[in-house]
Amino acid sequence: ISFSFYLNRDTTKEMLINTSSQITEASNRQLPMRVLLWTDLVNQIGDQTLWGYGFNSYPAINPIHQSKEVRERRSIGLDNAHNPYTPLIGRGHSDFLEFISEFGIPFFMLLIFFPILATVGIVHNPSPFPKIILVGCLAFLLYFLIDFPSRSPACLLLFSSTLGFALRYAKLTQSRHNSKN
């Protein structure tokens, strides 16, 4: 792990600066920027709850719904504008909220309905192994609530393949269990 931090010193430096500023903000009793972004997203969803704003609309729509505190904190980041800099506002730091904002509640419910329906077969499986794999998928979904892992193809592929593996293994063990009975 130490070697990986050494290879990408710029990213490590940025992570340390971010962590330091978050600790300072917490000691000053300020909410983390992530929580402020979630609040803005909830307000954004409230204006267009049913049908959403459209795919990948967050960067364009969110500035309309940004709170004063987010704008003030974001302006601090402009001090680094002459350096390679990716603004924190590019994503809402919650795929769950961002997808509801973009697709609306009906499509979002359809999107999560099939994976939930598929997991019912895993829960009722006699083998504990697919259930353990499902815990890994649930961990990803918890991460989905507080960050934006689905925007990374590697994370999305890992989740999809893990869920697919759990479903396939559950189907195989269920058919073996049924053939023994």
Give the tens place of pLDDT for each residue, 108-137. Answer: 888 888 777 877 778 888 888 888 888 888
Mean pLDDT of 21-28: 82
**Are 53 and 105 a contacting pair, CB within 8 Å?**
no
Cα-based distances in Å from 89 to 3, 37, 150: 30, 8, 17
Q: Does the reported pTM lie above 0.75?
A: no
